[in-house]
Structure formats: structure tokens, C-alpha cells
Structure 1
Amino acid sequence: MIPSIFLFVLLFGGANAALIKYAGAKISPIDLVFFRSVIAAVAIAPFIGKIELTKFKNDPKSLTLAGLLFAANWILFAYGIQKTSVIMGQLIYVPTSLIVAGLGYFILKEKLSQKEIIGLILSLVGITYLILGSFKTKDILSFGTPFGNFLVVVALFSWAFYLVLTRKISNNYKPLTIIFVDFIISGLISAIFFILNFRNLSLTTFNINLIMAILAIAFLSSIAFFFLNQWIVKHSSAFVSSMLLYPVTLSAIIYGIIFFKEKLDVSLLIGGFIMLIGVFLSTLDTIRKK
């Protein structure tokens, strides 16, 4: 089963950034977030238990905060990826697990190993190297623009804070409930801007390609990928789940080159390699245990 999941991720996981870049260029990125959120929320609504929703009504603060961070990640990434390359957007997300570990150290007082600290430093060096490269080239087909990369980096930290927070509340709520509330909050926030921008939305824009892209983002990137990740964590380990990063990155690079004519230059490879070394080093002890 797990090899099949990795094959699915290789084929579709890295398509998320490419699909968002494509759809966000056809309609406003905030409109895309609205459609994505509503479709995903409606799709999983029948599976949400009343008891879980009652728990949320009695104590909405933590789950609402998590939903706000989740929405920030979706919105910022949707705008940022329009100003950078698919390759760069995915590379920036490579050290997610390390940043989560670093935030966990400061917020949850979790322990960090020496290798994790070194790996985190290397990953931050890699991100800095890539962002500085975007100031020099401003080439949207490789390094992207500084503004686009800045938005993606902020989206990354929103996602990292979200993961740390949901780690605290995951004992109180089922994963499905958490993600459902995330979809609802993302939909409500984006709905405000969707209504304000409604006059600028043309139905003629919605051709079959755009509709298929939105549906793929909602069902494959938003629902299927989340459930597959949770399944792997439950039936194997968080380590195996973290390994999904590599096929996602590889497929994102392939999609960026094929569909957006993006290019890999030496400097981009160097920055990505530094981050991958940092991530690999931080998981070295876990690999040895396996």
C-alpha cells in the first residue's frame, strides 16, 4: 500500500503548486481559495460527527486559531506562487519539518537533537541563499521575484505554526474535524474578498481546463493528500510520512519545467541541495534506527 501511495504522490503531489499557479492566473487567487475551500468542505461535511462539532462550539479558540493559520497559508501561497516559479515555491517548503521542530522547541518546549539544530541552520541558510538569488535575477522562471518568494516564505511559517498548534489539539479532535474547520474558516475569509471581487469574475473564464484544475486542487491536493498523509502516520510512522517531501519536490520540478518552461540553474540547485542536506541530516538518526 505505501509504495502505491508514494507513486500517487510522485504523480500528483507536486502538481499542487503547478495547478494553483495555473488556476490563480486565470481567476483571482483569493477566488481560487474560496472555490477550493467550499468544494473541499462540502465534500467531507457528511462525515463530520455532531459530537465533534459540539466540542468545537464549546471551545472554539484553539481550532479557530489553527484555521486562521491554515487560511493564511493557502491565501499567501496562492498569491506568492504567481510571482515565483513552481520549482522555487516547492523548494521553499522543503525544510517544513525542521522549522516545525524549531517552533516546537520554543513553543512546546520539545527537545531538539544536535543534528536537528544543524539541519535547521543549514535549511535556513539554503532558504536565505535562494531568496538572495531572487534579488539578483528576478527571473520568474527560476528564482522567482523577491516579493513572490517573501509571500511563500510567510505562507511556510503560517503552515509550520499551524502544524505545531494542531499537534497540541489533535488529542481533543479527530483529524477530519480539524481539517473541516480549516476549510470552513478559509472559505469564510476568502468569501469576503470573493464577494467584493464578484463583479470582476467572468463566467466565460471557466473553461473545462480551469474547472478540472479547481476540482483537482480541491479533491487531490486538499482532501486526498491530507488523508494519505494521515494514513501513513497511523499505519507506519511520522518518519515515513516526512519522506513524502522528496517525491513531491521531484514531481514539482518536473511539472514546472514541462508546463511552465521553468529552468534549473546551478545556483538554484545549490540552494536546494543545502536545504536537502539539512533535512537529511536531521533525520539521519531515524534512518539508522530503521
Structure 2
Amino acid sequence: MSSRSLALLAILAASLLWGTAGVVAKVLVRDLGPFTASFYRFLIASVLALPFFLRAQKPRGLWRDLVPLSLLGSANILLFYFGIKTTTANAATLIYAATPLATAIWSKFLIGEQSSKKTILGICIGLVGVVLIILLPIWERDQRLVGDVFGNLLIVCAMLSWTLYSIGTKRFADRRAYSPIVISTVYFWTTTVLSFVFALSSGEKLLTPKVFSTQSLWILIYAGIFITLVTFFLFQWAIQRISVTTASLKNYLEPLVGISLNVALLGERITIGFVWGSLLVIAGVVIATGSQVTNAVKNRFANLRKMRGSMRL
């Protein structure tokens, strides 16, 4: 199997695990608070990643390159946890589904990547869907169903921070040969430290009985290992072998997994307005980036035909 095919499988696995992030985050912020939840989740991931980081080859200028970049990734997490406290997991899931659209926009302005008319059309349609989801609380007036505008805006800012982080890590990985474990570990520790600072400054208590309850411990361990350590390693490994936009196609799968779990486990309901917003976001992503998936599938089948032809010879 080619490295590109393995990278796409890595993205698939990461998507399935990331799809559970909304449910986990919603439970954690309810019991522990946003910054406390973020602190313990990333502390677990940081400690487990440290032995691999120490053995990995590290180019000069590591901290100068990666710490400022990691701050963008940390902003994604902190804004996400703070936002999901007041909005719904479904709204957060759909806003993150627009990541490929934001990637295309940032790539155009930051690295001069040209966008086709089809991509621009998809971006416009998807953005209409995102705006609809953000403003639903104003029209539907039931925060239990659609969250609130402020929480939705925080999730948008989190998604934009994540997009910038993804583009930046792709460029550093290509130019400076940073390994996935090095990039991820610096990000983990940066987020752990920032979460600790914000938890203390906001008055959250890091040592409470709820933190050490059986339910919280198991959820934190799952979040630290599977949603954080495993997924970020898979994502960083994958984007070194495929484009950032292609990697962000994980957002096709995350809404399906995430919304299904949010409805089943959190009891969140789906409104008509949310359905329309979801359809616009997904349609925009498909129009803007669907050709990449089609081309990848065509190339895969072409390679398989070549392999079969060579085996016959």
C-alpha cells in the first residue's frame, strides 16, 4: 500500500476518533470546567508523548519555530472548550466541518494558492451555512437546541485557529523535516501550560473530587490518549504525505460520527434550521474540495489496474 493510501487511512481513523470529541468535551466542561478539562486532557497526552519526543531527532530552532505556531493550536482548544460550554455539540461539529473552506481561504491569502471558480462557489455556499448555524439562536430562541451566538462565534474562532495551525505545521514539516511526534508534543505541552494558566486565572479548581471520580478519570484518559495523542499523531503523519486541504477532508466524516453520537448520547435535537445550515456547509465543502476526493479515487484505481497488469506479465 502506498504512503498516500496509508495517509488517507490515517485521516479516516483520526476522523472517527475526532468525531467523539464533541460528546466528550460537553461532558467534561459540565463537570470540570473548560480549562480544567483541557489541562488534564493535554497533560495526559504530553506525559505519554514525552519519551517518544526525547528519542526523536530535533532540528535546531525547535522552540523558536514550533512554540509560536503551537499557540495557534492551543487557541483552538481553549476557544473550543470555552465555546462548547454554552453552545451545542452539534453546532460545534458543523462549524468545524467548514475547515476545508477556511483552509482554502487562508491558503489563498497566506501562500498564494489559487482557487478555481468551483472552489469559490463552494466557499460561498458553505459560509452561508456557517452563518446560518451561528445565528440560529437569534431566530429559534432555544439555547438547549442550538446553543448561543457567543458560543458559536468562539467555535468559529477555534476552527480558524486550527486551520492556521494546520497550514503552518505542513510548511514547517516540509521545510525543516520536523517529525509528527515532535510537532505534536510541543503542541501538547504548550496547550497544557496555557490551560493551567487560564484555569488558575479564571478561578477554576484543578483539584476537586469530580476530577478524580471514576467517570471523569476514564473520560480524561480516553480524551488524552485517543482524541489527542493518537489523532494528532495520525493527522501530523498524514499531512506530511498529502496536502493540507486533502487532509482536512476528514470533515466529511466527522459530522456524521459526531452528530450521531451527540443525538444518541447527549439527547441533542436537530431543528429544521440546523438541517438547512448543515446541508449548505456540507454542500459547500463537497463543491469546493470534492474533486480532490474524486481524483484520489481515480488515481487509486489506476494504480490498482497497473499493479494487476504487471502481475499478469
TM-score, normalising length: structure 2: 0.83
- Compute the displacement of 1:142 (Å): 2.6
Letter paired with 1:25 = R
**Structure 1 match to 2:138:** 135
- Compute the displacement of 1:32 (Å): 1.1
**Structure 1 match to 2:226:** 220
Distance 1:286 1:55, change over 3 A: same
Q: Does 1:281 align with 2:284?
A: no
Gaps of 5+ in 2: 299-313
**Structure 2 match to 1:85:** 88
In structure 1, how many angstroms separate the alpha carbons of the residues matched to 2:179 and 2:12?
27
Q: Secondary structure at the match of 1:280?
A: helix
Q: Does 1:75 align with 2:74?
A: no
Q: Does 1:184 align with 2:218?
A: no
Q: Once the two structures are superposed, what CA deviation does each residue of 1:80-129 show, in whole Å capped at 9, x if it has no partner?
A: 11111111110001110121121111011112122111111111111111
Distance 1:11 1:159, change over 3 A: closer
Gaps of 5+ in 1: none
Distance 1:140 1:191, change over 3 A: same
Q: Does 1:19 align with 2:24?
A: yes
In structure 1, how many angstroms separate the alpha carbons of the residues matched to 2:9 and 2:291?
26
Show the 5 A alignment for 1:242-281: 242-281=248-287
- Compute the displacement of 1:16 (Å): 0.6
Show the 5 A alignment for 1:1-290: 12-49=17-54, 52-53=57-58, 55-57=60-62, 60-171=63-174, 172=176, 173-196=178-201, 197=203, 199=205, 201-233=207-239, 241-289=247-295, 290=298
In structure 1, how many angstroms separate the alpha carbons of the residues matched to 2:237 and 2:58?
23
In structure 1, how many angstroms separate the alpha carbons of the residues matched to 2:80 and 2:133?
17
Q: Secondary structure at the match of 2:146?
A: coil
- Compute the displacement of 1:167 (Å): 2.3
- Compute the displacement of 1:5 (Å): 6.2
Cα RMSD after superposing both structures: 2.6
Letter paired with 2:188 = F
> Contact 1:18–1:86 at 8 Å: present in 2 too?
yes
Q: Secondary structure at the match of 1:55?
A: coil
> Contact 2:97–2:281 at 8 Å: present in 1 too?
yes
In structure 2, how many angstroms separate the alpha carbons of the residues matched to 1:72 and 1:286?
29
> Contact 2:130–2:281 at 8 Å: present in 1 too?
yes
> Contact 1:83–1:148 at 8 Å: present in 2 too?
yes
TM-score, normalising length: structure 1: 0.89
In structure 2, how many angstroms separate the alpha carbons of the residues matched to 1:273 and 1:32?
32
Distance 1:167 1:33, change over 3 A: same
Q: Secondary structure at the match of 1:64?
A: helix
How many residue pairs get aligned? The number is 288
Q: Once the two structures are superposed, what CA deviation does each residue of 1:13-70 show, in whole Å capped at 9, x if it has no partner?
A: 311111011011111211111111211111111111467446245xx33312211111
> Contact 2:86–2:151 at 8 Å: present in 1 too?
yes
- Compute the displacement of 1:198 (Å): 6.0
Letter paired with 2:44 = I
Greater shift after overlay, 189-198 or 275-284?
189-198
Q: Secondary structure at the match of 1:189?
A: helix
> Contact 1:31–1:190 at 8 Å: present in 2 too?
yes
- Compute the displacement of 1:246 (Å): 2.5
In structure 1, how many angstroms separate the alpha carbons of the residues matched to 2:133 and 2:264?
22
Letter paired with 1:192 = V
In structure 2, how many angstroms separate the alpha carbons of the residues matched to 1:34 and 1:234?
28
In structure 1, how many angstroms separate the alpha carbons of the residues matched to 2:193 and 2:15?
32
Letter paired with 1:22 = V
In structure 1, how many angstroms separate the alpha carbons of the residues matched to 2:125 and 2:60?
41
Letter paired with 1:16 = A
